[in-house]
Amino acid sequence: MTIELTEKEFRRLLDMVYVGNWILNSARGEDRFEDYDILQEKLFSLCPKAGMKSLVERWQGHVLPSKAYEEGGIHEAIADYEDAVFFDILAEELARRDMETEGVGEEDENELNTRMDAYYSEFEQHGVDNISVDL
């Protein structure tokens, strides 16, 4: 298979592969999906030929994204995603808790969304500053 990409498209593909691999593997410890690591390495190994040598470094015989790549803003994009997902999940879980229900039928969907919107508003204004847990 041959895919022709512009330099900009290749760079975007690297970001997408890195972010995808991060989401799939970053919390797995030793139980990583190795095939995703291998694909990431394969694509990043093409960087020098594409004039992007600064995006890679070698470590123990492997080609990895360089420290410059990792510090170049990709983790800020991941953090933005993680924040959005965190607040989405938190708002929904708190709204469901308030409604004392696991499953929400169509008749409850408007109430669930209203409660979630109230939590979103709170989080936008105060983050997690007003959240407390009684132990």
The C-alpha atoms of residue 63 and residue 47 are separated, in whole angstroms, by 10
Cα(10)–Cα(12) distance, rounded to whole angstroms?
5
Residue 106's pLDDT is 73
Quick one: pLDDT at residue 103? Answer: 66
Convert the pLDDT of each residue in 97-108 to its tens digit.
898 866 667 778
Separation of alpha carbons 2 and 102, rounded Å: 48
- The answer to whether residue 25 scores a pLDDT higher than 80 is yes
CA distance 38 to 61: 13
The reported pLDDT for the residue numbered 100 is: 81
Could you give the CA distance from residue 128 to residue 87 in angstroms, rounded to a whole number? 9
Residues 64-96 as b or e (16 or more Cβ within 10 Å = b): bbbeebeeeebeeeeeeeeeeeebeebbbebbb
At 63, give phi and psi (nearest 5°).
-95, 120
Task: Over range 87-100, report the average pLDDT.
Answer: 92
pLDDT at 105: 72
Q: C-alpha distances in angstroms, 29 versus 22, 25, 26, 32?
A: 12, 8, 7, 6
Residues 114-133 have a mean pLDDT of 94
